[in-house]
Amino acid sequence: MTSTATSGKAAQALIAPHGGVLVDLRLAAEQRQAAVAGVDHVVECSDRNACDVELLMVGGFSPLRGFMHQEDYLSVVEKHRTTSGLLFGLPIVMDTDREEISVGQRLLLTYRGQELAVLTVESKWEPDKAREALGCYGTTSLEHPAVKMIATERGRFYLGGAIEGLELPGRPFPCKTPAEVRATLPAGEDVVAFQCRNPIHRAHYELFTRALHATNVSKAGVVLVHPTCGPTQDDDIAGEVRFQTYERLAEEVANPRIRWAYLPYSMHMAGPREALQHMIIRKNYGCTHFIIGRDMAGCKSSISGSDFYGPYQAQDFARDQATELGMETVPSLNLVYTEEEGYVTAEHAEARGLHIKKLSGTQFRQMLRSGEEIPEWFAFRSVVEVLRGS
């Protein structure tokens, strides 16, 4: 395995990775055959496992060199820090139901016909999933999608240990590594990360382009639009389709202050903890600033429809950790569309008595299905074309 810091003149002027080192756990081609020889078991990864393996391999979870051991897992669950004191929003673990796997064995991790990595099992335990749910998500209710995920999808045991990377998962959308993204960023300038898991509409675009004019962002700074394309909630639009909308939109706007890349990350909808996790990942990709939206990574009860987190809980939590991370947050503006002045803040619209136009997500989806004309103030035409063709 290799562990390399970012290099080159441009990289030296970028923010340091989390923990100080951007790891790369991928083996050289001539080392892969020896790594695979003599493995004890073959374990097929879930979609979520594959995302975690990829981010470990390329350094998205730097400075981790593999899946967390039990001690770090428990520490992150209880106080969003590893045993060394390093901030981490959510634990990174490999799960299995296989009782025959034991400490000291080497596992070949596969995914849809590919050999992704070799995991050396250094710890194995049966987690207290209720404790994990309460610590990470603030609830043990199965109405929370991530609580349901760890209770019904994840295996009985968790595995910790070092990873030797063989091959990145083949995906319908290209995911640049942290080193590759860093190579595209301007040296010595601020980089504002915009996280999303849905197609970008006009309000989103206004939001992240206006963030470049925030008082704490350098005048020549850029925004990295870095949507997650891994598993999310069941009713979200598929990653492949979301990717197509981003590609078409990038062509349409052709804005030189916007960088586009895609993140192979599986959402947990963990509100405050997820906001911290996203900031850490984006720091590894070279971002100095992070846009925190209202109710970021929030979710609702599948029964009552009530929110699991307060509207500003994620913002407050992320802001409290930002200084230690060496990053800054950019609060998400509450933008509305008005007949008189286009997009303005809700406060401005109220003060001026402007006429606000609204279109809910439900209405938008109904209009898509029925073939109705979508107003351009709400959605980009290129995005609508992709969604209608999917």
Q: What is the pLDDT of residue 232?
A: 61
* Contact (CB, 8 A) for 48 and 74: no
Nearest to 385 by CA among 233, 251, 227, 261: 251
| pLDDT for 236 beyond 90 | no
Q: What is the pLDDT of residues 264-295, one digit of tens each?
A: 999 999 999 999 999 999 999 999 999 988 78
Confidence category of residue 5, pLDDT binned at 50, 70, 90: very low
Determine the angle formed by the axes of helices 70-79 and 129-137, rounding to 10 degrees. 40
Indicate the range of 116-125, 232-241, 254-263 predicted with least confidence.
Answer: 232-241
Higher pLDDT among residues 348 and 172, named by residue = 348
| pLDDT for 11 beyond 60 | no
Q: How far, in Å, are 77, 102, 125, 373, 381 from residue 128 at the CA level?
A: 11, 19, 9, 51, 48
| pLDDT for 195 beyond 80 | yes
Provide CATH 3.10.400.10 ranges for the chain. Answer: 9-165
360 burial class (0-12, 13-18, 19+ CB within 10 angstroms)?
Answer: exposed
Q: How far, in Å, are 123, 132, 154 from residue 129 at the CA level?
A: 17, 5, 10
| pLDDT for 71 beyond 80 | yes
Confidence category of residue 1, pLDDT binned at 50, 70, 90: very low
Overall average pLDDT of the 133-152 stretch: 97
307 burial class (0-12, 13-18, 19+ CB within 10 angstroms)?
Answer: middle
Overall average pLDDT of the 39-43 stretch: 98
| pLDDT for 324 beyond 60 | yes
Confidence category of residue 296, pLDDT binned at 50, 70, 90: confident
Q: What is the pLDDT of residue 243?
A: 86
Domain 178-336 in this protein, CATH class: alpha beta
Provide CATH 3.40.50.620 ranges for the chain. Answer: 178-336
- Percent of the chain at pLDDT exceeding 70: 95
Domain 9-165 in this protein, CATH class: alpha beta
Q: What is the pLDDT of residue 233?
A: 60
Q: What is the pLDDT of residues 85-104, one digit of tens each?
A: 999 999 999 999 999 999 99
Token duo for residue 304: 């009552």
